[in-house]
Structure 1
Amino acid sequence: MSVFARHRAGVAGAAVLAVAVLVALVAPLVVPADALDVTRVTGAPWRPPGAGHLLGTDHAGRSVALLVVRGTGTSLFVGLTAAALSVGIGTLVGVLSGYFGGVFAGVLLRVTDFFLVLPSLVLAIALSTVLPRGLGTIVVAIGLTSWPSTARVVRAQTLAVRARPFVDRARALGGGHLHVITRHVLPSVVPLVLVTTTLAVASSIVAESTLAFLGLGDPTRISWGALLHQARLHGAVPQGAWWFLLPPGLAIVVVVLAFTLVGRALETAAAPGG
C-alpha cells in the first residue's frame, strides 16, 4: 500500500475514480426524472453552454451536463460487471489449465486460442445483435469475449506457483487439489488478478461505449456511449453542437485513463520487491 501511495499518477487516478463513483451514486438523487424526459422537458434545443445550462442542451432541449452525470452510473456499472465476468472466466480457465495440465489443459487452451483469434469487438457486436437489447446483454457480450488474455496471464502465474516447493509439500501432506488451489495457488494469483481487473474495467467501458455508439446499447438507459450515438444520430456535427460531443467523450477518456493509471500503480506495487 505504501508503494501505491508513492505512485502519484495512481493516486490521482484513484481520486478521479472516487469522484466518478460518488457522482454515479448521487446522480439518481439529484437529477430529476423530468429534466431528462423528452416529452416533458421545456428547454430550447441546441442551446450552447451558458448561465442556464452549463454544458448546453441537446436536440431535445435536455441539459447535457445532467445527461453526462446520469450516464456515469450506467457506464461504470457495465464496465465493472463486464470486467468481473471477464476476469472471473479468465481466472477460472487460467488456474485450471495451469494447475492440472494434460489433455484437460489442452482443451482449455484450444478454446482460449479460438477466442483469441476472433476480434473481440466484432464478436461482441454479433452477440449484442442476436441477443435481446439490454444492459445484461452488453455485460454478457463484453464479458464472454474479453477473458482469453486474462486466462493466459493467470495460467502463466499458476504454472510458476505450481512449481514451487510449498505446493509439493502441501501435496505430500495429503492436501487435495481443491485445498492446494484455494490455499496456495489463488492467494498467489490474486494480486495479478486485481491488476488485470482494473485494466479490464477500462477496456469494458470503452467496449460499452463503442457498442452504444453503434446503436447496440440499452435504449432505455443513458450512458456516455449512448450520448455520442444520439449526437451522431441527430446531427450534432452539422449543427456545430460540439458541447454535445465533447463532454461524454472526455468523460470516457478521463475515467478510462484513471483506471489505467490505478492498474499500473497496482502492478508496480504487486511486483516482486515493489
Structure 2
Amino acid sequence: MTHLDTALDTALDTAHAPPRFHALRRFARAFAQRPSGLAGLGILLAFGLLALCAPLFIGDDQLDVVKVDGPLLAAPSGDYLLGTDQAGRSILLMTIWGARSSLAIGIIATLLTVLLGSAIGLLAGHYQGRIGKALMHVTDWFIALPSLPLAISLSAVIGQGSASITIAIAVTSWTGTARLIRAQTLAVEARPFIERAKALGASDAQVMLRHVLPNVAPLILVSSTLTVASAILSQATLTFLGLGDPISVSWGSMLNAALAQGAVSAGDWWWLLPPGVAILIVVLGFTLTGRAVEHVLNPRMVSGS
C-alpha cells in the first residue's frame, strides 16, 4: 500500500467519524496545550487513584482505634512518615483514606448541585412567564440566605452523617449554576434555529432537551468542575464542625480530632498539616482543571487572555 492510499484511507475514516468525535478530539488537543490544566488533571488522577486503591493496602486494623498498636502522638519518622495521632494511627494512611470520603461527598454533592441548578436554570430561561419568575424568586431567596449557616442547620435537622452533608451542600450550592444556565438559555433561545424548531412544531421538552441543552452543556461542564472545589471545602468545613459521620475518616474529621485533642497548643503540627495540605492540593487541582476547561470552551476568554 502506498502513502497515497494510506492518506486516502485516513481521510475517509475521518470523514465518516461522527461530529462529536471531532469536537472531543479538538477539545483534547486544546486542553493539552494548557500546562496548568494538565497539572490540575494530574493532581486529580493521583488523588483519585490513591482513593480507589486505598483498600488494597490499608486494613481495618490500621484505622480502628481499638485494633491499632502504634505509638501515641509520635513525630514523623522512618516507620511513620507523617507521625501518628492520639490513638497511634498513621497520619499518612488516614490522609490517604480520608480522600475517599472527601472526594466521594464532594463529587456526589456536585452532581446533585449541577442537576438541580441546570434543571431550574433551563426551566426559568425557557418559561419566561410566571413559572420563570417564580423560579428566579426562589433562587434569589436562596442566594439571600447565608450558605454556611443554612448548611449547618440542614445537617443538624436531617441528622449527622455523610448523606446529610451531601444534601446540605447540594441544597445550598445550586443557585449560581441556576442563574448561569438561565442566562445562557435566554441567549440560546434568542437564536433563529430555535424559532424554526418552534415553527416546525417542536414541543417545549424537545426545544429544551434537543436544542438548548446541547448548547449549554459546555457551560454545565465548566460549572461542575469549578463547583467540586467549593463542595470539597464545604464538606471539610461541615465535618470539621462535627456534623459528619463520627466513625468515618475524612480530612475534616481529622482536623476536628486534632483541634479537640489540643494538637495546636501541643505543637503536634504533623497532625494538622497533612489533611489541610491535602484539601488545598485537591481544591487547587479542580480549580486548575476547571479554569483550563473554561478557557478551551470559551473562545472569547482565550482571545482576551
TM-score bracket, shorter-length normalisation: over 0.9
The whole-number CA distance in structure 2 between the counterparts of 1:95 and 1:268 is 23
| Structure 1 unmatched ranges of 5 or more | none
Give the corresponding residue for 1:225.
252
Give the corresponding residue for 2:278.
251
Give the corresponding residue for 2:266.
239
The yes-or-no answer on 1:77 pairing with 2:104 is yes
Large movers: runs of 4+ above 3 Å: none
1:119 CA displacement: 1.0
Q: Deviations over 1:32-88 (max 9, x none)?
A: 110111111111111000011010000111000000000001000000000111111
Letter in 1 for 2:119: L
The whole-number CA distance in structure 2 between the counterparts of 1:189 and 1:272 is 15
Q: 1:192 aligns with which of 219, 222, 225?
A: 219
Please report the RMSD computed on the Cα atoms of aligned residues, expressed in angstroms.
Answer: 0.9
Q: 1:155 aligns with which of 147, 158, 182?
A: 182
Share of identical aligned residues, percent?
50
1:26 CA displacement: 0.4
Give the corresponding residue for 2:118.
91
Give the corresponding residue for 1:272.
299
The whole-number CA distance in structure 1 between the counterparts of 2:156 and 2:72 is 31
Give the corresponding residue for 1:4.
31
The yes-or-no answer on 1:48 pairing with 2:67 is no
The whole-number CA distance in structure 2 between the counterparts of 1:59 and 1:69 is 18
The whole-number CA distance in structure 1 between the counterparts of 2:86 and 2:247 is 17
Letter in 2 for 1:162: E
The whole-number CA distance in structure 1 between the counterparts of 2:170 and 2:60 is 31
User: What SS does structure 2 have at the residue aligned with 1:144?
Assistant: helix
| Structure 2 unmatched ranges of 5 or more | 1-26
Q: Deviations over 1:156-202 (max 9, x none)?
A: 00000000001001111111111111111000111000010011100
Q: 1:28 aligns with which of 26, 46, 55?
A: 55
1:220 CA displacement: 1.8
User: What SS does structure 1 have at the residue aligned with 2:172?
Assistant: coil
Q: Deviations over 1:2-53 (max 9, x none)?
A: 2211111011000000011101100122101101111111111110000110
The yes-or-no answer on 1:144 pairing with 2:140 is no
1 or 2 for the larger relative contact order (CA 8 Å, sep ≥6)? 1
1:130 CA displacement: 1.2
Give the corresponding residue for 1:111.
138
The whole-number CA distance in structure 2 between the counterparts of 1:117 and 1:127 is 16
Give the corresponding residue for 1:101.
128
TM-score scaled by length of structure 1: 0.98
TM-score scaled by length of structure 2: 0.89
The whole-number CA distance in structure 1 between the counterparts of 2:261 and 2:111 is 34
Greater mean alpha carbon deviation, residues 233-242 or residues 55-64: 233-242
Give the corresponding residue for 2:93.
66
Kindly name which structure, 1 or 2, has the bigger radius of gyration based on alpha carbons: 2
The whole-number CA distance in structure 2 between the counterparts of 1:178 and 1:241 is 58
1:272 CA displacement: 3.1
The whole-number CA distance in structure 1 between the counterparts of 2:67 and 2:61 is 6
Q: Deviations over 1:185-227 (max 9, x none)?
A: 0001110000100111000000000001111111121111110
1:238 CA displacement: 2.0
Give the corresponding residue for 2:161.
134
The whole-number CA distance in structure 2 between the counterparts of 1:151 and 1:207 is 19
Matches within 5 A, 1:193-212: 193-212=220-239
The whole-number CA distance in structure 1 between the counterparts of 2:119 and 2:103 is 24
Letter in 2 for 1:209: A
The yes-or-no answer on 1:170 pairing with 2:197 is yes
